[in-house]
Amino acid sequence: MAAFVTQRERTRRIVLIIVSSIFCAGFVGWGAYLLSLCTDKEEGVKVETEEGEEKPPDKNVEKSIKQLEKELREFEDNFERLEASIVNFIEFVGWRLRSSDTADRYSHTVRWYTEVVQKEMDHWIETLQRGWQTRTETINVTKFDKWGDQKETAVRLHITDLFAELKKISESLDVIRKKEEEIKAKAVAEEKAAVDRLLQVEAENRKRIEGDKPDQLGGILGAIVKELQNLVEGQKRAHQQVGEKEEVLLVKQDELALLKDRNILEFKKRDAEIDVYRIRAVEVKKANELEYEVKLLAEENEKMDPDARVIMADNENGIVYVDFTHKHRVFPGMQFRVFEVGKGGIKKDKGMVKLLKIGEERSKAIVVGSAQPIKSGDYLYEPRFIDSRVNTFAFAGKLVGRLSKDEVVSRIEAKGDRLHPKARVSTHFLVCGEGYENDPEYKLLDEYPIQTIRERDLYVYLGIEW
């Protein structure tokens, strides 16, 4: 099967043929030249003169032939080494050794394939970018781009460039090394000179301090010894006085520590009493608020004044329609109790409904709990609901709507309602966002009669598209 030959492969073959032809021609030329010399040597060793006498062979000719044989052997050795180098280079870059070779023999599994060489060049690019650190500076090369970089202005690293850069770096390192050696030699010389000067100064100072007579203390040293003796005696007297004062100070410190401990205990006792009073005050306040709210709810339950009326009921599907509209300040998620008025005006509780959709003329609700079938004419009521009241909200969890929390608060206040930073007894609705189950505000539902609504329901109430 014929192998597909690319333009690059064709170029490589032409270069290989040209190089081989040059070496073969040179080799043939040298062989012919040496053969002619050898023939001349055999046939013309003995040359007759015009008088018929035989002329002895020329020593210079014999010597030149030996020299040529030696050069021929050297040329053959160099040619063999060069040929081996060419073969190694061809195998290294992935070229073919013969025109009969096919691409199947040099596939991507060959160790030195072009991609492998490019990868090796990328490794050298990283090495050049890291550079070599000396004591004084860092030598690196950052002008080359990796072969995987496809930008048009990329600068590629070739083998010749690599050797050139390594040569420059080697020369720079040699220069730096020489400079460091010069600096080191200079530092050693300066250090030696400094040591000599110090020794000289030390000798002069010793003479000035100890005096001219080595066996006697004189000069500055004698005066220092005398002063030291006086200083030792003064220190002894000072230590004695300090010891007496320390004893007095230790007694005072013990008294102060006892007084401090008593004060700390008193403060802790007072703080504990204050904490107890504070906790009791909070509990009393919460109990009073809860009691007041429960009282209001009880009064509302007794009154059971209807807030809306059932227009139509579908008990099979659990759907009812009531006469709530947007003007009543209601929104999806609100729950209402359902009751009917029997004989004698007796109000009978029938179940619970939850608003689903608020319309212009009526609203749709779903039955969430029913003891008896709900019918048209039944009433809805919620003890805490007043259509003209100011609704109060609190948040639990993270709001994930398209508006920020500050924007939602602004819309609530613009509608005339309020936001409680934390849920309390007077809070009407707890808006549940993402992760509301772990929010402390959500756990207050066990203590306070607060309704929960979704963030989406709050958007509907505020007239904002979700």
The answer to whether 429 and 392 are in contact (CB under 8 A) is: yes
Q: pLDDT higher for 307 or 135?
A: 307
Looking at the structure, do residues 13 and 98 belong to the same domain, yes or no?
yes
Tens of pLDDT, residue by residue over 87-140, are 666 655 555 555 444 444 444 444 445 777 778 888 888 888 888 877 777 888
Number of domains present in the structure of the chain: 5
Looking at the structure, do residues 343 and 379 belong to the same domain, yes or no?
yes
DSSP letter for 99, please. T
Domain boundary among 157, 183, 209: 183
Looking at the structure, do residues 350 and 379 belong to the same domain, yes or no?
yes
DSSP letter for 315, please. T
pLDDT, average across residues 60-67:
64
**Angle, CA 300 vertex, CA 297 and CA 302 arms, to 5°:** 110
- Cα–Cα dist 65/311, whole Å: 131
DSSP 388-433: TS--EEEEESB--SSS-HHHHHHHHHHTT-EE-SS--TT--EEEE-
In a domain, 411, yes or no: yes
Percent of the chain residues topping a pLDDT of 70: 73
Looking at the structure, do residues 377 and 402 belong to the same domain, yes or no?
no
- Cα–Cα dist 90/83, whole Å: 11
State the amino acid at position 259 in one-letter form.
L
In a domain, 327, yes or no: yes
Whether the per-residue pLDDT at 201 is higher than 70: the answer is: yes
- Cα–Cα dist 355/366, whole Å: 6
Looking at the structure, do residues 242 and 294 belong to the same domain, yes or no?
yes
State the amino acid at position 165 in one-letter form.
E
Looking at the structure, do residues 166 and 92 belong to the same domain, yes or no?
no
Do the bridges between strand 392-396 and strand 429-432 make them parallel or antiparallel, or are there none, so unpaired? Answer: parallel
In a domain, 138, yes or no: yes
- Cα–Cα dist 295/301, whole Å: 10
pLDDT, average across residues 267-292:
78
- Ranked by mean pLDDT, the top range of 36-45, 130-139, 203-212 is 130-139
Tens of pLDDT, residue by residue over 338-380, are 998 877 677 888 889 999 998 888 999 999 887 788 999 999 9
Looking at the structure, do residues 16 and 84 belong to the same domain, yes or no?
yes
Domain boundary among 364, 389, 414: 389
Looking at the structure, do residues 97 and 126 belong to the same domain, yes or no?
no
What integer pLDDT is reported at residue 272 of this predicted model?
84
Looking at the structure, do residues 328 and 369 belong to the same domain, yes or no?
yes
Tens of pLDDT, residue by residue over 417-442, are 899 988 888 888 899 999 998 898 88
DSSP 5-42: --HHHHHHHHHHHHHHHHHHHHHHHHHHHHHHHHHHHH
Which CATH number characterizes residue 442's domain?
3.40.50.10190
In a domain, 204, yes or no: no
In a domain, 149, yes or no: yes
Looking at the structure, do residues 379 and 445 belong to the same domain, yes or no?
no
Cβ–Cβ contacts within 10 Å for residue 86, how many?
Answer: 16
The answer to whether 394 and 320 are in contact (CB under 8 A) is: no
In a domain, 2, yes or no: no
Whether the per-residue pLDDT at 45 is higher than 50: the answer is: no
- Cα–Cα dist 455/430, whole Å: 10
- Cα–Cα dist 348/323, whole Å: 20
In a domain, 330, yes or no: yes
- Minimal CA–CA distance to 97: which of 20, 45, 174? 20
In a domain, 135, yes or no: yes
Domain boundary among 86, 106, 126: 106
For the range 172-178, what are the long-range contacts, defined as Cβ-Cβ under 8 Å and sequence gap of 24 or more?
172/139, 173/132, 173/134, 173/139, 176/134, 176/136, 176/137, 176/139
Looking at the structure, do residues 454 and 385 belong to the same domain, yes or no?
no
**DSSP E strand boundaries for 295-397:** 308-314, 319-322, 335-341, 347-358, 363-370, 379-381, 392-396
- Cα–Cα dist 180/188, whole Å: 12
What integer pLDDT is reported at residue 103 of this predicted model?
44
Whether the per-residue pLDDT at 23 is higher than 70: the answer is: no
- Cα–Cα dist 385/304, whole Å: 11
Whether the per-residue pLDDT at 4 is higher than 50: the answer is: no
How does the average pLDDT of the chain come out, rounded? 77
Give the model's confidence band at 8: pLDDT under 50 very low, under 70 low, under 90 confident, else very high.
Answer: low
The answer to whether 34 and 71 are in contact (CB under 8 A) is: no
Q: pLDDT higher for 57 or 193?
A: 193
pLDDT, average across residues 405-425:
89
- Cα–Cα dist 44/62, whole Å: 11
Q: pLDDT higher for 328 or 24?
A: 328
Which CATH number characterizes residue 343's domain?
2.40.10.410
Helix and strand numbers, DSSP H then E, in the chain: 8, 14
Determine the structural domain holding residue 67 and report its residue range: 7-45+55-106
Looking at the structure, do residues 321 and 376 belong to the same domain, yes or no?
yes
